[in-house]
Amino acid sequence: MSQPTVILATASYDHSIRFWEAKSGRCYRTIQYPDSQVNRLEITPDKRYLAAAGNPHIRLFDVNSNSPQPVMSYDSHTNNVMAVGFQCDGNWMYSGSEDGTVKIWDLRAPGCQREYESRAAVNTVVLHPNQTELISGDQNGNIRVWDLTANSCSCELVPEVDTAVRSLTVMWDGSLVVAANNHGTCYVWRLLRGTQTMTNFEPLHKLQAHKGYILKCLLSPEFCEPHRYLATASSDHTVKIWNVDGFTLEKTLIGHQRWVWDCVFSVDGAYLITASSDTTARLWSMSTGEDIKVYQGHHKATICCALHDGAEPATS
């Protein structure tokens, strides 16, 4: 079966995962996911697998198969898995859960290889571009850096006490990190270079982005340069696009009728896909701010989306 060049997947409270033809908006495959809702979707760097983070497991599905069965299940979390992602070569996966742990999984071996205790429900985890540090954000407002080389927590920050950190994002070159919280605020730090570790967070900006919750924040990808954007998706039904140079509001994406839970940029930063409680996902043009495609098929809230439209990494 030929590899689709663009892989777009969405998951919903209707207990299904859908694959879409991004351009036409046609749903070409539906996987039933009866065990739980899916909190997060992520596609492996080689485009072969889709990870679905549920409660309390993570399931890996073959992107190119029609089989409804997962090829692998990862089972040692004990509560909702809220974050999942892959190392750049796809050798290992990381996850964060409401059980208060961050875990690392070797995709070639069963079981969890490492576990870090956050002591509060983990809402978000990102991998630093250096591939040696994970940054997690939790329900109590803690941000922690997990140094994978030293196998320990190398840094702790609390931008706002008792205010849940909902989403974290790191600039592709490792220069900035942004944390979004339940008060609609984004905290921006410069990550000081020249040091081996990135434990030096220098406060750069505090952005009052929305009046409601921010459910996802995302910095634009490398091929978007020289433009640098921050997207914030909110319970106020909008997504805002901020210019990272000065954090001025570039545009507001209006069209969703309910909470916007997730968003993902195309590889060149020209498009953004969003997922909303209004049951739809939408494709937006970053240049015009218009929605150019609506993906309709789910019949309950669509809470996460994943897109891989880039070239596959060169196999070493």
Residue 3: predicted pLDDT: 62
Please determine, for residue 315, whether its predicted confidence score (pLDDT) is greater than 50: no
Q: What is the average pLDDT across 262-278?
A: 97
pLDDT in tens, 72-109: 999 999 999 999 999 999 999 999 999 999 999 998 87
In a domain, 282, yes or no: yes
Q: The CATH number of the domain where 138 resides is what?
A: 2.130.10.10
From the number of C-beta atoms within 10 Å of its C-beta (0-12, 13-18, 19+), residue 178 rates as: buried
In a domain, 28, yes or no: no
Residue 311: predicted pLDDT: 73
Q: Please state, in angstroms and rounded to a whole number, the distance separating the CA atoms of residues 119 and 183.
A: 22
In a domain, 196, yes or no: yes
271-276 and 281-285 as β-strands: parallel, antiparallel, unpaired? antiparallel
Please determine, for residue 259, whether its predicted confidence score (pLDDT) is greater than 60: yes
Number of structural domains (the chain) is 1
Q: 239 forms bridges with which residues in the sheet? A: 233, 253
Strand order in the sheet with 58-62: 40-43, 49-53, 58-62, 72-74
pLDDT in tens, 127-164: 999 999 999 999 999 999 999 999 999 999 999 999 99
pLDDT in tens, 21-66: 999 999 999 999 999 999 999 999 999 999 999 999 999 999 999 9
DSSP 120-164: S-EEEEEE-TTSSEEEEEETTS-EEEEETTTTEEEEEE-SSTT--
Residue 263: predicted pLDDT: 98
pLDDT in tens, 11-32: 999 999 999 999 999 999 999 9
Q: If you ran DSSP here, which 8-state letter would residue 311 be given?
A: P
Which residues constitute the domain of residue 128? 78-297
Q: Please state, in angstroms and rounded to a whole number, the distance separating the CA atoms of residues 235 and 251.
A: 17
From the number of C-beta atoms within 10 Å of its C-beta (0-12, 13-18, 19+), residue 267 rates as: middle
Check: CB of residue 77 under 8 Å from CB of residue 117. no
Q: How far is C-alpha 256 from the chain's CA centre?
A: 19
In a domain, 112, yes or no: yes
Please determine, for residue 272, whether its predicted confidence score (pLDDT) is greater than 80: yes
Mean of the per-residue pLDDT values for the chain? 94
In a domain, 184, yes or no: yes
> Residue for token digits 């030929």?
2
Buried b (16+ CB within 10 A) or exposed e, 66-104: eeeebeeebebbeebbbbbbbbeebebbbbbbbbbbbbb
In a domain, 249, yes or no: yes
Please determine, for residue 310, whether its predicted confidence score (pLDDT) is greater than 90: no
Q: pTM score, two decimals?
A: 0.95
Residue 316: predicted pLDDT: 38
Q: Please state, in angstroms and rounded to a whole number, the distance separating the CA atoms of residues 85 and 43.
A: 8
pLDDT in tens, 169-225: 999 999 999 999 999 999 999 998 655 555 689 999 999 999 999 999 999 999 999
In a domain, 48, yes or no: no
In a domain, 29, yes or no: no
